[in-house]
Protein backbone atom coordinates (compact mmCIF):
# COMPACT_ATOMS: atom_id res chain seq x y z
CA UNK A 1 0.00 0.00 0.00
CA UNK A 2 1.32 3.37 -0.88
CA UNK A 3 1.57 6.34 1.43
CA UNK A 4 -1.17 8.21 -0.30
CA UNK A 5 -3.53 5.31 0.08
CA UNK A 6 -2.64 5.03 3.82
CA UNK A 7 -3.33 8.69 4.46
CA UNK A 8 -6.50 8.48 2.52
CA UNK A 9 -7.78 5.73 4.74
CA UNK A 10 -6.64 7.26 8.11
CA UNK A 11 -9.39 9.32 9.83
CA UNK A 12 -7.57 10.58 12.92
CA UNK A 13 -6.23 13.76 11.74
CA UNK A 14 -9.37 14.72 9.95
CA UNK A 15 -11.40 14.27 13.19
CA UNK A 16 -8.93 16.24 15.32
CA UNK A 17 -11.39 18.97 16.24
CA UNK A 18 -13.76 16.34 17.51
CA UNK A 19 -11.00 14.78 19.53
CA UNK A 20 -10.08 18.19 20.90
CA UNK A 21 -13.63 18.82 21.88
CA UNK A 22 -13.82 15.44 23.57
CA UNK A 23 -10.60 16.15 25.40
CA UNK A 24 -11.88 19.55 26.51
CA UNK A 25 -15.12 18.03 27.73
CA UNK A 26 -13.19 15.31 29.46
CA UNK A 27 -11.05 17.81 31.36
CA UNK A 28 -14.06 20.01 32.09
CA UNK A 29 -15.97 17.01 33.35
CA UNK A 30 -13.04 15.99 35.50
CA UNK A 31 -12.58 19.48 36.83
CA UNK A 32 -16.31 19.81 37.45
CA UNK A 33 -16.49 16.50 39.39
CA UNK A 34 -13.49 17.44 41.64
CA UNK A 35 -14.99 20.80 42.55
CA UNK A 36 -17.45 19.35 45.10
CA UNK A 37 -14.69 17.32 46.70
CA UNK A 38 -12.62 20.47 47.00
CA UNK A 39 -15.61 22.21 48.63
CA UNK A 40 -16.03 19.33 51.08
CA UNK A 41 -12.33 19.50 51.99
CA UNK A 42 -12.54 23.23 52.50
CA UNK A 43 -15.59 22.82 54.67
CA UNK A 44 -13.83 20.20 56.82
CA UNK A 45 -10.82 22.50 57.20
CA UNK A 46 -13.10 25.34 58.23
CA UNK A 47 -14.81 23.11 60.77
CA UNK A 48 -11.43 22.04 62.20
CA UNK A 49 -10.41 25.68 62.41
CA UNK A 50 -13.69 26.51 64.20
CA UNK A 51 -13.16 23.62 66.63
CA UNK A 52 -9.61 24.75 67.30
CA UNK A 53 -10.80 28.29 67.97
CA UNK A 54 -13.49 26.97 70.31
CA UNK A 55 -10.95 24.84 72.16
CA UNK A 56 -8.60 27.79 72.44
CA UNK A 57 -11.39 29.96 73.84
CA UNK A 58 -12.34 27.25 76.32
CA UNK A 59 -8.75 26.78 77.44
CA UNK A 60 -8.35 30.53 77.85
CA UNK A 61 -11.60 30.69 79.86
CA UNK A 62 -10.43 27.77 82.03
CA UNK A 63 -7.08 29.40 82.60
CA UNK A 64 -8.78 32.64 83.62
CA UNK A 65 -11.11 30.78 86.00
CA UNK A 66 -8.23 28.79 87.49
CA UNK A 67 -6.17 31.95 87.80
CA UNK A 68 -9.08 33.64 89.60
CA UNK A 69 -9.46 30.58 91.89
CA UNK A 70 -5.73 30.54 92.56
CA UNK A 71 -5.83 34.23 93.31
CA UNK A 72 -8.67 33.68 95.81
CA UNK A 73 -6.79 30.78 97.45
CA UNK A 74 -3.64 32.86 97.63
CA UNK A 75 -5.58 35.73 99.19
CA UNK A 76 -7.06 33.40 101.84
CA UNK A 77 -3.64 31.86 102.50
CA UNK A 78 -2.08 35.31 102.89
CA UNK A 79 -4.83 36.35 105.32
CA UNK A 80 -4.24 33.24 107.40
CA UNK A 81 -0.51 33.90 107.47
CA UNK A 82 -1.17 37.45 108.64
CA UNK A 83 -3.47 36.22 111.39
CA UNK A 84 -0.84 33.73 112.50
CA UNK A 85 1.79 36.45 112.54
CA UNK A 86 -0.46 38.64 114.69
CA UNK A 87 -1.10 35.78 117.11
CA UNK A 88 2.60 35.01 117.22
CA UNK A 89 3.40 38.63 118.04
CA UNK A 90 0.80 38.68 120.82
CA UNK A 91 2.20 35.45 122.25
CA UNK A 92 5.71 36.86 122.13
CA UNK A 93 4.48 39.90 124.02
CA UNK A 94 2.81 37.76 126.68
CA UNK A 95 5.97 35.68 127.07
CA UNK A 96 8.10 38.79 127.43
CA UNK A 97 5.73 40.15 130.09
CA UNK A 98 5.91 36.87 131.98
CA UNK A 99 9.69 36.86 131.79
CA UNK A 100 9.84 40.40 133.10
CA UNK A 101 7.49 39.57 135.98
CA UNK A 102 9.51 36.44 136.78
CA UNK A 103 12.78 38.35 136.79
CA UNK A 104 11.28 40.98 139.10
CA UNK A 105 10.04 38.26 141.42
CA UNK A 106 13.45 36.58 141.46
CA UNK A 107 15.10 39.91 142.28
CA UNK A 108 12.70 40.48 145.16
CA UNK A 109 13.28 36.97 146.51
CA UNK A 110 17.03 37.43 146.26
CA UNK A 111 16.84 40.76 148.11
CA UNK A 112 14.64 39.25 150.82
CA UNK A 113 17.01 36.32 151.25
CA UNK A 114 20.10 38.51 151.47
CA UNK A 115 18.78 41.38 153.57
CA UNK A 116 18.23 40.51 157.29
CA UNK A 117 14.83 41.13 158.77
CA UNK A 118 14.64 44.40 160.61
CA UNK A 119 12.69 45.08 163.73
CA UNK A 120 10.91 48.40 163.82
CA UNK A 121 11.41 50.06 167.15
CA UNK A 122 8.48 51.61 168.90
CA UNK A 123 8.37 55.41 168.73
CA UNK A 124 10.02 56.98 171.70
CA UNK A 125 7.81 59.04 173.98
CA UNK A 126 8.08 62.74 173.59
CA UNK A 127 10.10 64.58 176.21
CA UNK A 128 8.58 67.86 177.33
CA UNK A 129 10.76 70.92 177.71
CA UNK A 130 10.27 73.73 180.14
CA UNK A 131 9.21 76.14 177.42
CA UNK A 132 6.26 73.88 176.51
CA UNK A 133 7.65 72.41 173.29
CA UNK A 134 8.10 68.67 172.94
CA UNK A 135 10.81 66.78 171.12
CA UNK A 136 10.72 63.06 170.26
CA UNK A 137 13.69 60.92 171.20
CA UNK A 138 15.75 59.30 168.46
CA UNK A 139 14.71 55.79 167.55
CA UNK A 140 17.24 53.05 167.93
CA UNK A 141 18.85 51.41 164.92
CA UNK A 142 17.11 48.36 163.45
CA UNK A 143 18.07 45.17 165.21
CA UNK A 144 19.25 42.28 163.12
CA UNK A 145 17.45 38.98 163.09
CA UNK A 146 20.59 37.22 164.26
CA UNK A 147 20.41 39.12 167.57
CA UNK A 148 16.83 37.96 168.03
CA UNK A 149 17.89 34.41 167.36
CA UNK A 150 20.64 34.71 169.96
CA UNK A 151 18.15 36.03 172.47
CA UNK A 152 15.75 33.18 171.80
CA UNK A 153 18.37 30.51 172.60
CA UNK A 154 17.88 29.19 176.12
CA UNK A 155 20.97 27.38 177.33
CA UNK A 156 19.37 26.10 180.53
CA UNK A 157 16.07 24.92 179.04
CA UNK A 158 12.63 26.39 179.50
CA UNK A 159 9.70 25.38 181.63
CA UNK A 160 7.77 24.26 178.56
CA UNK A 161 10.46 21.73 177.66
CA UNK A 162 10.38 20.30 181.19
CA UNK A 163 6.61 19.98 181.11
CA UNK A 164 6.75 18.24 177.73
CA UNK A 165 9.37 15.82 179.03
CA UNK A 166 7.28 15.02 182.10
CA UNK A 167 4.19 14.46 179.97
CA UNK A 168 6.16 12.15 177.69
CA UNK A 169 7.44 10.09 180.63
CA UNK A 170 3.95 9.84 182.09
CA UNK A 171 2.50 8.58 178.80
CA UNK A 172 5.29 6.02 178.47
CA UNK A 173 4.54 4.71 181.96
CA UNK A 174 0.83 4.49 181.21
CA UNK A 175 1.53 2.58 177.99
CA UNK A 176 3.86 0.14 179.78
CA UNK A 177 1.26 -0.48 182.51
CA UNK A 178 -1.47 -1.04 179.96
CA UNK A 179 0.72 -3.43 178.03
CA UNK A 180 1.57 -5.35 181.21
CA UNK A 181 -2.12 -5.78 182.06
CA UNK A 182 -2.89 -7.16 178.62
CA UNK A 183 -2.80 -10.98 178.72
CA UNK A 184 -0.04 -12.46 176.62
CA UNK A 185 -0.66 -15.37 174.30
CA UNK A 186 0.84 -18.57 175.70
CA UNK A 187 2.10 -21.10 173.19
CA UNK A 188 0.78 -24.58 173.95
CA UNK A 189 1.08 -28.00 172.35
CA UNK A 190 -1.02 -31.16 172.43
CA UNK A 191 1.05 -34.34 172.71
CA UNK A 192 -0.08 -37.97 172.37
CA UNK A 193 2.34 -40.42 174.03
CA UNK A 194 2.70 -44.17 173.47
CA UNK A 195 4.00 -45.80 176.68
CA UNK A 196 5.04 -49.45 176.16
CA UNK A 197 5.41 -52.01 179.00
CA UNK A 198 7.96 -54.82 179.20
CA UNK A 199 5.53 -57.71 178.70
CA UNK A 200 1.94 -58.78 179.04
CA UNK A 201 2.28 -59.34 182.80
CA UNK A 202 2.96 -55.64 183.51
CA UNK A 203 0.29 -53.96 185.65
CA UNK A 204 -1.08 -51.32 183.25
CA UNK A 205 -3.02 -49.53 185.99
CA UNK A 206 0.15 -49.07 187.99
CA UNK A 207 1.96 -47.98 184.82
CA UNK A 208 -0.64 -45.29 184.16
CA UNK A 209 -0.44 -44.15 187.77
CA UNK A 210 3.31 -43.78 187.42
CA UNK A 211 2.94 -41.75 184.23
CA UNK A 212 0.37 -39.40 185.78
CA UNK A 213 2.58 -38.96 188.81
CA UNK A 214 4.89 -36.84 186.66
CA UNK A 215 3.86 -33.28 187.48
CA UNK A 216 5.30 -29.96 186.30
CA UNK A 217 4.26 -26.34 185.88
CA UNK A 218 2.57 -26.05 182.46
CA UNK A 219 1.76 -29.81 182.22
CA UNK A 220 -1.83 -31.08 182.11
CA UNK A 221 -2.64 -34.77 181.61
CA UNK A 222 -5.66 -35.75 179.54
CA UNK A 223 -7.48 -38.92 178.56
CA UNK A 224 -5.83 -42.31 178.14
CA UNK A 225 -6.62 -45.74 176.73
CA UNK A 226 -5.01 -49.16 176.25
CA UNK A 227 -4.19 -50.13 172.69
CA UNK A 228 -3.35 -53.78 171.83
CA UNK A 229 0.08 -54.30 170.33
CA UNK A 230 0.27 -58.09 169.90
CA UNK A 231 0.82 -61.31 171.80
CA UNK A 232 -1.44 -60.09 174.58
CA UNK A 233 0.67 -56.94 175.13
CA UNK A 234 -1.07 -53.58 175.34
CA UNK A 235 0.43 -50.09 175.33
CA UNK A 236 -0.81 -47.04 177.16
CA UNK A 237 -1.80 -44.15 174.88
CA UNK A 238 -2.18 -40.96 176.92
CA UNK A 239 -2.68 -37.35 175.93
CA UNK A 240 -1.35 -34.20 177.57
CA UNK A 241 -1.19 -30.45 177.02
CA UNK A 242 2.04 -28.59 177.73
CA UNK A 243 3.19 -25.00 177.64
CA UNK A 244 6.08 -24.78 175.21
CA UNK A 245 8.10 -22.35 177.33
CA UNK A 246 7.89 -24.53 180.44
CA UNK A 247 7.68 -28.19 179.41
CA UNK A 248 9.51 -30.00 176.62
CA UNK A 249 9.21 -33.49 175.13
CA UNK A 250 12.70 -34.44 176.26
CA UNK A 251 11.81 -33.68 179.86
CA UNK A 252 8.63 -35.77 179.63
CA UNK A 253 10.45 -38.76 178.18
CA UNK A 254 13.20 -38.50 180.77
CA UNK A 255 10.77 -38.31 183.71
CA UNK A 256 8.51 -41.12 182.49
CA UNK A 257 11.35 -43.56 181.67
CA UNK A 258 12.56 -43.29 185.27
CA UNK A 259 9.96 -45.92 186.15
CA UNK A 260 12.05 -48.74 184.68
CA UNK A 261 10.12 -51.50 186.44
CA UNK A 262 6.96 -50.82 184.43
CA UNK A 263 7.97 -48.80 181.37
CA UNK A 264 10.11 -50.04 178.51
CA UNK A 265 9.97 -46.98 176.18
CA UNK A 266 8.06 -43.77 175.42
CA UNK A 267 7.24 -42.61 171.90
CA UNK A 268 5.49 -39.48 170.63
CA UNK A 269 2.51 -40.58 168.52
CA UNK A 270 1.22 -37.09 167.70
CA UNK A 271 2.33 -33.49 168.28
CA UNK A 272 0.08 -30.52 167.48
CA UNK A 273 0.30 -26.81 168.22
CA UNK A 274 -2.71 -25.27 169.94
pLDDT in tens, 99-121: 999 988 988 888 888 875 444 44
Provide the CATH number for the domain around residue 245.
3.30.70.60
- Is 175 part of any domain? no
**β-strand 126-128 against 188-196: which pairing, if any?**
unpaired
Contact call for residues 142 and 129 (beta carbons, < 8 A): no
Neighbour-count burial of 233, counting CB atoms closer than 10 A to its CB (0-12 exposed, 13-18 middle, 19+ buried): middle
pLDDT at 47: 80
User: Global pTM?
Assistant: 0.36
- Return the exposure string of 66-93: e unless at least 16 CB atoms fall within 10 Å of the residue's CB, then b: eeeeeeeeeeeeeeeeeeeeeeeeeeee
pLDDT in tens, 201-245: 999 999 999 999 999 999 999 999 999 998 889 999 999 999 988
- Is 100 part of any domain? no
How many separate domains does the chain show? 1
pLDDT in tens, 117-168: 444 444 444 444 444 444 444 444 444 444 454 555 554 555 677 888 888 8
pLDDT at 197: 94
- Is 75 part of any domain? no
- Is 12 part of any domain? no
Write the DSSP symbol of residue 222: E
Q: What 3-state class would DSSP assign to 189?
A: strand
- Is 176 part of any domain? no
pLDDT at 25: 83
Given a cut of 70, whether residue 35 has pLDDT beyond it is no
Residues 241-259: what's their mean pLDDT? 91
- Is 199 part of any domain? yes
Q: What confidence category does residue 39 fall into, taking pLDDT thresholds of 50, 70 and 90? A: low
- Is 267 part of any domain? yes
* More confident of the two residues 69 and 252: 252
Task: Note down the domain range covering 258.
Answer: 188-273
Residues 3-19: what's their mean pLDDT? 63
Given a cut of 90, whether residue 171 has pLDDT beyond it is no
pLDDT at 31: 79
- Is 264 part of any domain? yes
* More confident of the two residues 199 and 153: 199
DSSP codes of every residue in 79-95: HHHHHHHHHHHHHHHHH
Neighbour-count burial of 221, counting CB atoms closer than 10 A to its CB (0-12 exposed, 13-18 middle, 19+ buried): middle
Amino acid sequence: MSTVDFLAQEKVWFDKPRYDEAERRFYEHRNGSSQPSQDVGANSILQDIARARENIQKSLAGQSASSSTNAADQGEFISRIRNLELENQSLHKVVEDLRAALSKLECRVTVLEKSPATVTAAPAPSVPYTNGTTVQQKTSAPVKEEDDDDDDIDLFGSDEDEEAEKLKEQRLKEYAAKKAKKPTLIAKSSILLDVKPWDDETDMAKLEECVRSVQADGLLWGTSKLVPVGYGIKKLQIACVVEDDKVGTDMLEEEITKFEDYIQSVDIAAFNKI
